Structure formats: C-alpha cells, structure tokens
C-alpha cells in the first residue's frame, strides 16, 4: 500500500488505528472511496441529453442509449 492510500485510510478511520482494523473492512472502505456510487441526477441528465450524432445509424444510437443505462 502506498503512502497516499495509507493516508486516505488514516483519514477515513480517524481516530482509530488502521493497523487494528480487519483487512476486509479496510478494503471495503477504500473501495467506497475510490469507486463512489454515481450521482443519479447526473446519470439522468447524461441519458436525456444524448442526441444522435451525424452519420450515426439508428441502431448504433439505440445501442449507445442502452449502454448509458
């Protein structure tokens, strides 16, 4: 584990010592920090603002819209 990751872990666990926490709990904490849940409102905006590009077929457009979901 690098110093940056260790510092993040210390910040999230303060005032507890990270070395006294179980490994699984630290992994879950770091996963939540580095892979946050996307904001629902931002995802809705991205989906609703998607427009068909010039030269893009209807099938490609539909597939790309489905991929956004």
- Written as one string, the DSSP assignment of 3-69 is HHHHHHHHHHHTTS-GGGS-HHHHHHHHHHHHSPPPPHHHHHHHHHT--PPTT--HHHHHHHHHHH-
**DSSP conformation class of 14:** T
**Same domain flag for 42 and 64:** yes
pLDDT tens track for 6-30: 888 888 888 888 888 888 998 998 9
**Same domain flag for 10 and 22:** yes
**Same domain flag for 44 and 66:** yes
For residue 6, the model assigns a pLDDT of: 86
**Same domain flag for 27 and 12:** yes
Domain that holds residue 24: 3-34
- pLDDT exceeds 80 at position 1: no
**Same domain flag for 20 and 44:** no
The candidate with the shortest Cα–Cα distance to 30, out of 45, 49, 8, is 8
**Same domain flag for 50 and 63:** yes
Number of structural domains in the chain: 2
Name the region of 32 (left: φ>0; alpha: ψ -120 to 50; beta: rest).
alpha
Work out the pLDDT band at 36, boundaries 50, 70, 90. confident
Rounded mean pLDDT of the chain? 89
């Amino acid at each position: 584990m690098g110093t940056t990751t260790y510092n993040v872990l210390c910040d999230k666990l303060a005032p507890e010592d990270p070395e006294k926490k179980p490994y699984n709990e630290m992994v879950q904490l770091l996963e939540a920090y580095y892979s946050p849940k996307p904001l629902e409102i931002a995802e809705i905006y991205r989906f609703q603002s998607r427009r068909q590009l010039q030269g893009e077929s209807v099938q490609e457009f539909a597939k790309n819209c489905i991929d956004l979901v």
